[in-house]
Chain A
Amino acid sequence: MKKYDSFAAIRRDLASGAVTCHALVTYYLQQIEEKKHLNVFLSVYAEEALQKAQAIDEKLKAGTAGKLAGMVIGLKDVLCYENHPLQCASKILDQFVSQFSATVVQRLLDEDAIIIGRQNCDEFAMGSSNENSAFGATLNEVDNTHVPGGSSGASAVAVQADLCLISIGSDTGGSVRQPASFCGVVGLKPTYSRLSRYGLVAYASSFDCIGIVGKSVADIAQVLEITAGKDDFDSTVSQKEVPPYTTALQPLKPARIAYLKEGLDEKNIQQEVREQLEAKIDFLKSEGHVVEEATLPLLDYILPTYYILTTAEASSNLSRYDGIRYGYRTKEVDDLESLYKKTRTEGFGKEVKRRIMLGTFVLSASYYDAYYTKAQKMRRLIKEATDQLFEQYDFILLPTTPTTAFKRDAFKDDPIQMYLADLFTVQANVTGVPAMSIPTGEDAQGLPIGVQLMANAFEEEKLLAFGHYLMEKYVPASV
């Protein structure tokens, strides 16, 4: 079976009869089996996927198949899929089965996409290494001693290792873009509210976005076009029309691009990452684009703002996991308070508990103004500064991450250091703008490097077109 790098190629071969959905699913199932050691899938829906493939093959013959017939998709374990297990890689949702499908998942199914399984991640999407999982860490295929990033680590590895064509992940602070960068694949975080959050398990509601991981920008554009748009089940989702992203992949030329001085000056940035970005800047200039240095003095405040506000929301969002109605419940307790305490102590992992406590603290009456209120003000300032940049520029160019994939257990005892991995990605979540990581070469160890493009809110059309152009046109400089 030949390895497919784009959905267009799959559709061509489906049309010519060179491949069938059944053969595709069989291939991916074999891949999953062979690469089990990467610990990507928590559940594989083998039988169901094969049956569905057969049915869709029939539909293809009859000419009644949906737009995504032939697309095999994996779901991060934070997305609801009716009558399928959902655990957020946490013990606290032990044995939980979702009773409904996320709007995004339903829209994929309606167009005949095949869901092949449920992917590992950091517990409740909290983490940057995919090590915070009740089901063990997921490994980076390029080098198994390195992490794949997180929290949608397994979703990126699934595409990297060809276990499915597309993964649907979530991006609250870079959780799709950072692992995409670490694994050498494309990761998109759309504008906040572009996609319905109904059926996406909440981590930090005002930041959470469903994100898409794929091999090509065109595939991602296709998935976005089908899943985006208004939804009666999410009152915060945008009512804006969804433009035809797939047919609009023509780049705007010449573009005005800003790269952030603070980004390049950052002392923790890996030399090769910096070089890749510089090479990209040179390339863009040579192509006739306007590329200028801009400043964002508030960069240092983005991470603290992000961690205060997301943990605050998380502490509330995760209150529902109390052992009363579903999921894990501790044994042998005699009173309500110990039921809560023991259930949550035993059910949640260390990082989740850390963030719940941090969030509870910043919302507590005595510290509310010092932390929560201040962070909200800072969020507004960062948004204003970002808006100002987009008044002058079409895109902001940044490294996706300061370094390539780090070693497993590298930050075991220093979570703050790990938080720095999100330094460049959180801006898009704090401000809500869309951002995409695209692969741009490797470091000396052969670990992938990603570059990040950010556009103004609801300018996915521009962003995808330009990302597509960058990937097609740009030949990575050898480092």
Chain B
Amino acid sequence: MHLQEITQASDFEKALPQLSWQTIQEAIASAREDYETVVGLEVHAQLKTASKAFASEETTYGQMPNTNISVVTLAHPGVLPRVNKKVFNYALRLGLACESEITRENVFARKNYFYPDLPKGYQITQDKTPICVGGKVYIQPKGATEEKAIRLVRIHLEEDAGKSMHIEGERDSFIDLNRAGVPLIEIVSEPDIRQVEEAYAYLTEIRKLVRYLDICDGNMEEGSLRCDVNVSIRKKGVETFGTRVEVKNLNSFSNVKRAMVFEFERQLYYALRGWTFIQETRTFDAPAGKTYALRSKESMNDYRYFPEPDLTPVIVDEHWIAQVQEKMPPLPRELYLKFTKEYSLSPYDAEVLTAEKETALYFEEVCQFTKNYKAAANWVSVNVKGYLNELMLTIDDFPIVPEKIAALINLIDAGKINHNIASKKVYPALLATPNKTALQIVQEENLLLEDNTEELQTLIQTTLAQFPDKVAAYRGGKKGLQGMFMGEIMKKTKGKADAKLVSKMLQEALNQSE
């Protein structure tokens, strides 16, 4: 049987024993083109409030195990939760940034299940009234020319569980409850993602957003940002969704990608062979790069959600929303659009500058004092970032105020100094003595460009007189000698001359005296 004859999965299944490995490979390869991945992401972001969601102890990461634990976290008999209202402010910021609808009456619910790192035997969460409903996150995957909106289903508030550690060979497990009760938001997307690049761009955008909004560290290694993926596949052009699986335990962006790729291949193989599978939860084994079934839907926990009777509903009114709205920081996409449209920066430059909020704001500030946005972009992304990267500093530690960087750019643009002098001499001096202005440094160090044309004229004439044979050679057609003359003249000016001007005058001199 040949590949062309395989029109249905059942044919493939029947034919499989007789097929050569190569034929199978070809079949898979051609199916790969016909199918697409359908992915929805569930992102958990740990909110960086000072205290826990329903208790007063602090939330600092990296403390000794079981030190941030009160009787409330330990679920001692008789304790009651109390809402930390700040968690609402945080969730509202993200909701407003994503244009979600804000829920006015927020009822908390209990999600019941037994696990040793869940002290109460239930998690306080939002079930029927998530704080944010709907909304969008705009992404622009690498190589894509247009933005794509990934729709959100909801964003809801909940509390984190503690950490269980199972050490190989040990009979007992270890539990650290410091994290128990730390506030989380769960951001659930619609199954709008089709490609690995889109998933990556979406996660990058979410991380950027939470960092811009200052609500989460966005640190996947420390677990402050966690991600589960819902993956299914379907034939391109088909409207309905296939059976999906949920993959958990993805603690890096690259694992999210790997899990998606693995699931696509696995489900494609099932589809080819005409096998069905059930909706289930799978875990990602990072070293193996594979997913394994955890539990099927039938055997899944019945969480027995019901309204949390220990907390009264939290009412979010217009006034509250307005207060949060008022303090909204600029958003990465807003800045990106401003940088590309208003400042005419390239998408690449805008991307680099908006990757981190602090950099973007610094750049914005520079642009308040200069109109040469392109130069400002270069200075910030090359010189400023270069300095910070080398010394492993953040922009908060950067000594030079944005206005002075702008002044430096303006000096170049006014022809007072050239770029070389600016970056090699003035900039290091500014770093060393940030209380001085660029102009002060230029004057003190006598770095002003020699724009006295008379003086230059003399200098050019003397230089030409110094090398009569070379001048003759130039005039004889060896135009390449111009560089040699330039070097000599610039040496004499100690690099302070405006190279463009010198070049122009030199050319005139060489051509005129013919």
Are A235 and B80 neighbours in the complex by a CB distance under 8 Å? yes
> Does residue B74 face the partner (Cβ distance < 8 Å to A)?
yes
Are A93 and B77 neighbours in the complex by a CB distance under 8 Å? yes
Are A319 and B121 neighbours in the complex by a CB distance under 8 Å? yes
A474 / chain B contacts, CB cutoff of 8 Å: none
Are B304 and A316 neighbours in the complex by a CB distance under 8 Å? yes
Which of A31-39, A57-65, A192-200, A299-307 interfaces with chain B? A192-200
Are A198 and B79 neighbours in the complex by a CB distance under 8 Å? yes
B311 / chain A contacts, CB cutoff of 8 Å: 235-236
Are A88 and B114 neighbours in the complex by a CB distance under 8 Å? no
B43-84 to A contact mask, C-beta < 8 Å, 1/0? 000000000000000000000000000010011111111110
A233 / chain B contacts, CB cutoff of 8 Å: 80, 82
Q: How far is the CB of B294 from chain A (nearest CB, A)?
A: 15
Which of A18-26, A98-106, A215-223, A412-420 interfaces with chain B? A98-106
> Does residue B306 face the partner (Cβ distance < 8 Å to A)?
yes
Are A316 and B121 neighbours in the complex by a CB distance under 8 Å? yes
B118-153 to A contact mask, C-beta < 8 Å, 1/0? 011110000000000000000000000000000000
> Does residue A322 face the partner (Cβ distance < 8 Å to B)?
yes
Interface centre among B71, B74, B83, B304, by most chain A C-beta atoms within 10 angstroms, is B304
Q: Pick the contact of A99 from B76, B80, B110, B112 — CB < 8 Å?
A: B76
A234 / chain B contacts, CB cutoff of 8 Å: 80
Q: Pick the contact of B122 from A199, A204, A319, A336 — CB < 8 Å?
A: A319
Are A336 and B304 neighbours in the complex by a CB distance under 8 Å? no
Are A322 and B76 neighbours in the complex by a CB distance under 8 Å? no
> Does residue B296 face the partner (Cβ distance < 8 Å to A)?
no
B90-122 to A contact mask, C-beta < 8 Å, 1/0? 000000000000000000001010101001111
Q: Pick the contact of A206 from B112, B114, B309 — CB < 8 Å?
A: B309
> Does residue A325 face the partner (Cβ distance < 8 Å to B)?
yes
B285 / chain A contacts, CB cutoff of 8 Å: none
A9 vs B206: C-alpha distance when bound (angstroms): 70
Q: How far is the CB of B431 from chain A (nearest CB, A)?
A: 51
Known A205-B310, A363-B306; contact A316-B80, beta-carbon cutoff 8 A: no
Within 8 A of A (CB), among B358-390: none
Q: How far is the CB of A369 from chain B (nearest CB, A)?
A: 12
Interface centre among B71, B78, B83, by most chain A C-beta atoms within 10 angstroms, is B78
> Does residue B33 face the partner (Cβ distance < 8 Å to A)?
no
Q: How far is the CB of A174 from chain B (nearest CB, A)?
A: 19
> Does residue A436 face the partner (Cβ distance < 8 Å to B)?
no
A99 vs B74: C-alpha distance when bound (angstroms): 11
The residues of A with any CB-CB pair to B shorter than 8 Å are 79-80, 86, 88, 93, 96, 98-100, 102, 197-202, 204-206, 232-236, 312-313, 315-316, 318-322, 324-326, 334, 336, 340, 360, 363-365, 368, 372
Are A205 and B309 neighbours in the complex by a CB distance under 8 Å? yes
Q: How far is the CB of B28 from chain A (nearest CB, A)?
A: 39
Chain B: which residue is nearest A105 at the CB level? B78
Q: Pick the contact of B82 from A86, A232, A334, A340 — CB < 8 Å?
A: A232
Q: How far is the CB of B9 from chain A (nearest CB, A)?
A: 33
Q: How far is the CB of B219 from chain A (nearest CB, A)?
A: 29
A235 / chain B contacts, CB cutoff of 8 Å: 80-83, 310-312
Q: A86-B78, A313-B306, A316-B112 are in contact. List 4 more A-B contacts (CB 8 A).
A: A235-B80, A236-B80, A336-B116, A365-B302
Are A322 and B302 neighbours in the complex by a CB distance under 8 Å? no
A120 vs B81: C-alpha distance when bound (angstroms): 27
Interface of A is mostly: loop
Q: Pick the contact of B119 from A202, A312, A316, A320 — CB < 8 Å?
A: A320
B78 / chain A contacts, CB cutoff of 8 Å: 79-80, 86, 98, 100, 102, 198-202
A-B contact pairs, 22 of them (CB 8 A): A96-B77, A98-B77, A100-B79, A205-B309, A205-B310, A232-B82, A235-B81, A235-B83, A235-B311, A236-B309, A316-B110, A316-B122, A319-B112, A319-B114, A319-B121, A320-B77, A324-B119, A324-B175, A325-B74, A334-B171, A363-B306, A364-B302
B292-326 to A contact mask, C-beta < 8 Å, 1/0? 00000000001010100111100000000000000
Q: How far is the CB of A58 from chain B (nearest CB, A)?
A: 32
Are B112 and A325 neighbours in the complex by a CB distance under 8 Å? no
For chain B, the bracket of interface size reads 20 to 34
Interface centre among A88, A235, A236, A340, by most chain B C-beta atoms within 10 angstroms, is A235
Are A326 and B76 neighbours in the complex by a CB distance under 8 Å? yes
Chain A: which residue is nearest B304 at the CB level? A363
B206-221 to A contact mask, C-beta < 8 Å, 1/0? 0000000000000000
B309 / chain A contacts, CB cutoff of 8 Å: 204-206, 236, 313
Chain A: which residue is nearest B120 at the CB level? A320
Chain A: which residue is nearest B111 at the CB level? A316
Q: Pick the contact of A316 from B71, B171, B306 — CB < 8 Å?
A: B306
Known A206-B309, A319-B112, A320-B75; contact A325-B80, beta-carbon cutoff 8 A: no
Interface centre among B79, B119, B309, B312, by most chain A C-beta atoms within 10 angstroms, is B309
A247 vs B74: C-alpha distance when bound (angstroms): 42
What are the 8 A-B residue pairs with the smallest beta carbon separation, nearest first?
A319-B121, A205-B309, A363-B304, A206-B309, A80-B78, A320-B75, A201-B77, A199-B78
Within 8 A of A (CB), among B163-192: 171, 175
A236 vs B312: C-alpha distance when bound (angstroms): 6
A363 / chain B contacts, CB cutoff of 8 Å: 112, 304, 306
Are A236 and B310 neighbours in the complex by a CB distance under 8 Å? yes
Known A88-B77, A316-B110; contact A325-B82, beta-carbon cutoff 8 A: no
A204 vs B80: C-alpha distance when bound (angstroms): 13
Are B77 and A80 neighbours in the complex by a CB distance under 8 Å? yes
A324 vs B80: C-alpha distance when bound (angstroms): 20
Are A320 and B121 neighbours in the complex by a CB distance under 8 Å? yes
A326 vs B74: C-alpha distance when bound (angstroms): 9
A322 vs B171: C-alpha distance when bound (angstroms): 19
Q: How far is the CB of A152 from chain B (nearest CB, A)?
A: 16
Q: How far is the CB of B124 from chain A (nearest CB, A)?
A: 11
A368 vs B303: C-alpha distance when bound (angstroms): 11
A440 vs B504: C-alpha distance when bound (angstroms): 117
A324 / chain B contacts, CB cutoff of 8 Å: 116, 119, 175
Interface centre among B74, B83, B116, B171, by most chain A C-beta atoms within 10 angstroms, is B116
A476 vs B246: C-alpha distance when bound (angstroms): 70
A234 vs B311: C-alpha distance when bound (angstroms): 8
Interface centre among B77, B79, B80, B81, by most chain A C-beta atoms within 10 angstroms, is B77
Q: How far is the CB of B77 from chain A (nearest CB, A)?
A: 4
A365 / chain B contacts, CB cutoff of 8 Å: 302, 304
A197 vs B80: C-alpha distance when bound (angstroms): 8
A363 vs B112: C-alpha distance when bound (angstroms): 10
A198 / chain B contacts, CB cutoff of 8 Å: 78-80
Q: How far is the CB of B148 from chain A (nearest CB, A)?
A: 36
Q: Pick the contact of B306 from A88, A93, A312, A321 — CB < 8 Å?
A: A312
A204 vs B309: C-alpha distance when bound (angstroms): 9
A204 vs B71: C-alpha distance when bound (angstroms): 20
A199 / chain B contacts, CB cutoff of 8 Å: 78
A319 vs B312: C-alpha distance when bound (angstroms): 21
A157 vs B304: C-alpha distance when bound (angstroms): 39
Q: How far is the CB of A347 from chain B (nearest CB, A)?
A: 13
